[in-house]
Amino acid sequence: AAGTKAGLVKISEDKSAQVRRLLISNLSDKLLFIQVGEIVKGGKQDRTMQTSLIVPPKTNDMPVPSFCVEQSRWAGGKAFTAAGMIVPDKNMKVAVQTGSQGSVWSNVAKYKTRASTNASIASGKEVKTSKSSSVNEELGDKDFRKLIGGYEKALADATKQFKMPRGLATVVDGQISTVDIYHASSLFQKLYPTLLKSAAAEAAAGQFKKTPPPFTVKQLVGFLAGAWDGKKQKETLGYENVVVRIVTPQTLASQLFFKDKLMHVQVLKLDKPISLPTTNNNQLNDSNRSNNNNRPNDNNRLNNNVAPAPVRQRAPAESSTNRPAKSKPATKSKSAIKSKSATKPQSATKPQSATNKQN
């Protein structure tokens, strides 16, 4: 969001205006990290990013795979602005990761209904689902924003008690939803307000059941440890980005590698078993575009942090999870993962020290 406001990052429709592809230009001299599920507004339709990516500095019109989160509109200009939000629903994230546009639209509609229902209950007045088909309209509703704001306020300082937090685990109604882990604490802390807003929006559209028992560190470690023994799929995206997806009956994990370095891990809890889609390797490459001189070099590195190390069997003794003790909402909880987090994904590509961007 900061990069688009400063004019250093430009997002636009592809020249052929394809729903499944946007163009991103990184005009800065730093690496740009794009988060899977990040929402942008404008263009012909509001979109979300299908995968996490690194955009090299001084790169023009890099193709980025996307999905529509606004079914009914196909009109407008070419430019987009960052919404400062990630898709606020676990099943929406799964649909994005598995390449199902129909499922994305279906989950957007379900989310909008839950959000307006909960806003009505909380405000004591009828809050109608927005006329627009975009998830952004619901997220911007003033009554629903009050619900989201309560969670954000309670958890805004949750990471400050840790020296180098690197990730966030979202628990809604007592059930794990999403875990995001990053190669550098500096990147995570820049993303934390957006991650928290998304988690808060997911919690605000929850079921408001009786307060569940706390989700424990032991449960979190077990959830992560079981995420790496599934079917693996490697997708070469181009621009030195590679995504490895791992699916088990209970989880969908994705790992972003840039120049063979692990940058981002996301693990989603599945409600039902899924199949991985057929990959489209090198989908970011375009023979009509030249990327010469667009590769980062050592001068672009901000630090040399080591990627988090998820373990298959048991966590190191120093691993922990950040859960605010006093200010958490009654029916939801969040956990910030410390930098020595217990998570070592096993993949075809060996994680090494990570290159750090950040706009």
Collapsing DSSP states into helix, strand and coil, what is residue 216? coil
Can you list the residues of the chain whose pLDDT is less than 50? 286-335, 338-359
Give the chain's radius of gyration (CA, Å). Answer: 19
Collapsing DSSP states into helix, strand and coil, what is residue 319? coil
pTM for this model (two decimals): 0.79
Structure tokens at 307: 């990627």
Separation in Å, CA 137 to CA 101, 121, 200, 203, 268: 19, 19, 16, 17, 25
Position 291 scores a pLDDT of 39
Structure tokens at 163: 């020296």
Q: Which residue has the tokens 């730093």?
A: 30
Question: Which of 97, 90, 233 has its CA nearest to residue 173?
Answer: 90
Helix axis angle, 142-155 relative to 185-204, nearest 10°?
A: 130
Cβ atoms of residues 106 and 91 within 8 Å: no
Structure tokens at 206: 């929850």
Proportion of the chain in helix, strand, coil states, percent, rounded to 5: 25, 30, 45
The b-or-e profile of 15-26 (16+ CB within 10 A means b, else e) is eeeebbbbbbbb
Distance (Å, whole) CA 57 – CA 74: 31
Structure tokens at 133: 């088909």
The amino acid present at 304, given as its one-letter code, is N
State the DSSP code for 87: -
